[in-house]
Structure 1
Amino acid sequence: MFIHQRISLPIHGLTHDAEGVGRYRGLTIFVPGAIPGDEVEAEIISVKKQYARALLRTVTKASPDRVAPLCPYYQDCGGCQLMHASYAAQLKYKHEQCRSALERIAGLEGALVRETLGARQPFHYRNKAQFPVSMLAGKVVAGCYQPRSHNIVDLDHCHIQHEDINKALQVAKEIAQKYQLSIYDERSHAGLLRHIVVRHAFSTGESMVIFVVNGETLPQAEKVAAELVERLPAVVSVQINFNRQPGNIILGPSTKLIAGRDFIIDQIGDLKFKISARSFFQVNPAQTLVLYEKAREYAALTGGEHVLDLYCGVGTIALFLASQAKQVTGIEIIPDAINDANENARLNGIMNTTFLSGAAEELVPRLISQGLAPEVYVIDPPRSGCDPKLLAALAAHPPQRLVYISCNPATLARDVKYLTTHGFTFVEAQPVDMFPHTSHVECVIGMQRKDT
């Protein structure tokens, strides 16, 4: 096999990042843009000992699951990976991703994995966008990066962002052009405006626009904010975020309010949440409710339990469970998130929650040594999964029930393997599609202590 060789290839599988998988003369071939059931002509672009990568050149026979992408930017933009597959097929792929990880990595052959819970509205579901900004031929452009590059695809409309976010992006670009704002160049680290960040609250209709700048100020900031608010009545907050560090981190450590208030209000179920510029908040509020309801089902609370919510963020899950628990304690390493969690508890009049700032793997053993014995744990770690010290603490003092929420089936399965060999029984898994048309899947798992 050689570079630029063209091969005919049937596609039989999909990787975790939605690349088609085929076999050619005993070698695994990865083909972005292909889906199971396709027969394709592909051009080899790299060859390794056990696999090769190829570009899709022609679909010679389309899979029954293949559809025409709705988005005109889809072939260039890196924001979505599965819009060329029917939504039913996307849900099937995500179910298989979770099932396969639990079988291959956790060793749970025949594990009960429910069908993926899909979104009622698989388009315009996102409540937050972070658009990089650039200058192209004298025009301000902003949108998404092309896959594996920092070339910006200038977007007029994104099919997964809320329509108010799309409107805000266009107006912000026009205003940046009108006031001739200096645009950031990441190669030279010169220029001012780096990103336009827009947040939108589905329940209240409020929007927030944040200009991320490589400097100490934004020229004509008051005029920029006034015109933005005048043209977009939904915008109740305009802010400047200061980020002078080179690299890929979008928001810097400090933010200045230039119009309106420094937060918007949104809801999950009956609960209200105050969202500031840097607050973490799930990007698909409708599916967040679906996810949390499933987590509450697996927690099986009767009103007398103490729940420990690890990696609690701004307290959304803890507050969602509080009405059915005796006490909920949340642990989060980011101090600002703990401040938001306490504020959200006050906002909703919830008195039976406590939020602690620190690393879960450090605080949990300490709390257990002090006599804390929660009946239920809820764990929602980052993509890297749980720290081994935390897993060891759970194994040493297993609660009656454990609910594990994950955005990475591989690390979820790794941690489940440890837990099932250290005092826990796997009950079932429920994939939830939080991000339609992308390769990402959320999965919530119910586990029990082996003697319960």
Structure 2
Amino acid sequence: MLKKNDVIEVEIVDLSHDGAGVAKAEGLVFFVENALPTERIRMRILKVNKKIGFGKVEAYLTKSPYRNEDVDVAYLRTGIADLGHLKYSEQLKFKTKKVRDSLYKIAGISDIEVAPTLGMEHPLHYRNKAQVPVRRVNGQLETGFFRKNSHDLMPIEDFYIQDPVIDQVVLAVRDLLRRFDLKPYDEKEQSGLIRNIVVRRGHYSGEIMVILVTTRPKIFCIDQLIERLVAQFSAIKSVMQNINNQPGNAILGKEFRVLYGQDYITDRMLENHFQIAAPAFYQVNTEMAEKLYQTAIDFAELNTEDIVVDAYSGIGTIGLSV
């Protein structure tokens, strides 16, 4: 009978939806971080339940030819890039397979063609929005991302999939928060001021919005902080404050205040121009959103007599595009 800390040899036979390798041993299904199909590994068992278990790689006995060796494991451990250890061309095939499997397993449909997943030419640094927690790590205010299934912050400076300018703004805000000795949020003690930094940047316009999520309204030296931040990034058109004093995982509260400039930035999608407010839903990958929308429009073959209902429309990017 397998138990915690046993080390066994297994072959990875599949990937879970969040990029964990899937192995089978003695009637159990194990999920293993940073392991790919066809790989044989020496696995240490971390946890065993009645039907499933979790393990970690102790050693690779054989490696997949599709492994991406360049990815930082921090991106896997935080979920920033769950599939980052898999070459991008294989990620697209994996996503196609997930759609096909879901149609079969959930809807019982097996006789429908699933087209290949459309991809990006450069599948990095594409996100036009960042939501970054602020916590104290080793006595210092840090920004980064939580380790999977935890609230333990891993300090990160290059977020891999975000617009590099957004990363620069996050670091600049972090340094200014340190300079003015503004206290990071402490979830256990329900204390501190700064919970999250949210940054939006227009893909085409380059306009920037910075949102400081705080536990209470007053921010010490906020005018001086904003003056220094805007001096570094002239594209900042909006600095907002969001007040969230509630426990829990919600990033934003209900109250917004304008600290600088206006309460929106502008950008375009499929040649339509949009005003994007702090709480607005807007696709985070502009390039692929345009490709997705245009593909749907082409499939729809609409004419001038058709009526389109844009339900749950956000700021209307789909409806206005057709």
Which of the five TM-score ranges fits, normalised by the shorter chain? over 0.9
Compute the RMSD of aligned alpha carbons.
Answer: 1.4
Residue in structure 1 matched with residue 210 of structure 2 by the alignment: 209
Give the equivalent residue in structure 1 for 2:224.
223
TM-score by length of 2: 0.96
- Does the 8 A contact of 2:18 with 2:83 survive in 1? no
SS of the residue aligned with 1:226?
helix
Deviates more, 1:41-50 or 1:300-309: 41-50
Corresponding letter in the other structure for 1:55:
K
Q: CA deviation at 1:48?
A: 2.6
Q: Which amino acid aligns with 1:176?
A: L
Paired residue secondary structure (1:23): strand
Contact persistence 2:76–2:84 (CA under 8 A): no
Deviation, 1:69, is 3.3
- How big is the shift at 1:138? 3.5
Counting only pairs closer than 5 Å after superposition, residues 244-323 of structure 1 correspond to structure 2 as 244-321=245-322
Would the alpha carbon gap of residues 200 and 185 (structure 1) be closer, same or farther in structure 2, given more than 3 Å must change? same
Q: C-alpha offsets along residues 3-52 of structure 1, whole Å, 9 cap, x if unaligned?
A: 11111111111112221112223332221221112111111122233322
| 1:207-229 Cα shifts (integer Å, max 9, x gaps) | 11111000022111111111110
Counterpart of 2:217 in structure 1: which amino acid?
E
CA distance in 1, matches of 2:244, 2:94: 38
Tell me the amino acid that sits aligned with residue 274 of structure 1: Q
Q: TM-score, normalised by structure 1?
A: 0.69
Secondary structure of residue in 2 paired with 1:240: strand
State the AA in 1 paired with 2:40. Answer: E
Give the superposition deviation at 1:76.
Answer: 4.2
- Cα drift, residue 75 of structure 1: 5.1
Q: In 2, Cα distance between the equivalents of 1:95 and 1:237?
A: 39
For residues 110-166 of structure 1, what are the alpha-carbon distances to aligned partners after superposition, in whole Å with 9 as ceiling and x for unaligned? 321000101122000000111100122342101111111111111121110001101
Counterpart-to-counterpart distance in 1, 2:58 and 2:184 = 36
Q: For the residues of structure 1 that align with 2:27 and 2:44, how far apart are their CA atoms?
A: 17
* Runs of 4+ with >4 A deviation: none
Contact 1:133–1:195 (CA<8 Å) still a contact in 2?
A: yes
Please give the secondary structure, in 2, of the residue aligned with 1:43.
strand
Q: How many residues are paired up?
A: 321
Matched to 1:258, the amino acid is: L
Whole-angstrom CA distance in 1 between matches of 2:21 and 2:262: 46
Cα deviation digits, residues 340-367 of structure 1 (max 9, x gap): xxxxxxxxxxxxxxxxxxxxxxxxxxxx
2:119 and 2:265 mapped to 1: Cα distance? Answer: 27
Unaligned runs of 5+ in 1: 322-452
Give unpaired runs (5+ residues) of structure 2: none
Cα separation, 2, equivalents of 1:47 and 1:93: 27
Partner residue in 1 for 2:240: 239
- Greater relative contact order (CA < 8 Å, ≥ 6 in sequence): 1
Greater shift, 30-39 or 200-209, is seen at 30-39
Matches of 2:251 and 2:20, distance apart in 1:
27
Mapping of 1:157-236 within 5 angstroms?
Answer: 157-236=158-237
Contact 1:218 1:240 in 2 (8 A): no
